């Protein structure tokens, strides 16, 4: 579904953030489900399946070690999606290495996972041409308005956590 300015994206802001970033994959499922965005994400996945969707594209523009994204694509598969594309973007190469290692353990051919080094703004601008079904992001309170404007172009449903500090 193409996103146009006439159909605004659904944006849910979660704050304060309790970001969990760990290179250890033990307990990753538990940490993913503790993320404040998880309940809304699960509702979105179930809703899309209920409406007959068989494919989904999920983008996490601040993916860290990839735990939430990897858990989301696995859960999408469990719900019956047959074509699942996940893209994670982060500015920390060490966390991306952990995400790539965890993704390499993913053996389901219905799931495609890609992790790229980059920043949120650039990732969202790149996603604007073909918006994701579900976009995950984070923003500082100071940048929330600008982030919301950019996120609306990059995803049909946006789940954003508000962080403390100057930068997202």
For the stretch 49-79, pLDDT in tens is 999 999 999 999 999 999 999 999 999 999 9
Higher pLDDT, 160 or 144: 160
Q: Which residue has the tokens 């790229």?
A: 116
**Rounded mean pLDDT of 17-25?**
39
Domain-embedded: residue 119:
yes
Domain-embedded: residue 34:
no
Q: Which residue has the tokens 């990839």?
A: 66
154: domain range?
Answer: 54-168
Domain-embedded: residue 13:
no
Q: What is the mean pLDDT of the chain?
A: 81
Cα angle value 62/168/101 (rounded, 5°) = 25
Record the tokens describing residue 100, joined without a space. 């790539």
Q: How many domains does the chain have?
A: 1
How far apart are the C-alpha atoms of 36 and 63, rounded to whole Å?
A: 14
109: Cβ contacts below 8 Å, ≥ 6 apart: none
């Amino acid at each position: 579904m193409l996103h146009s300015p006439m159909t605004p994206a659904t944006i849910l802001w979660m704050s304060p953030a309790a970001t969990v970033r760990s290179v250890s994959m033990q307990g990753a499922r538990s940490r993913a489900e503790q993320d404040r965005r998880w309940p809304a994400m699960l509702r979105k996945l179930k809703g899309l399946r209920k409406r007959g969707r068989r494919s989904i594209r999920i983008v996490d523009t601040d993916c860290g070690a990839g735990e939430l994204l990897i858990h989301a694509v696995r859960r999408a598969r469990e719900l019956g999606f047959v074509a699942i594309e996940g893209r994670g973007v982060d500015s920390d190469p060490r966390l991306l290495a952990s995400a790539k290692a965890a993704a390499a353990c993913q053996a389901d051919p219905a799931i495609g996972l890609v992790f790229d080094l980059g920043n949120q703004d650039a990732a969202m601008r790149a996603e604007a041409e073909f918006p994701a079904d579900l976009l995950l992001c984070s923003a500082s309170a100071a940048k929330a308005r600008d982030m919301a404007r950019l996120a609306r172009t990059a995803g049909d449903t946006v789940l954003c956590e508000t962080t403390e500090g100057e930068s997202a």
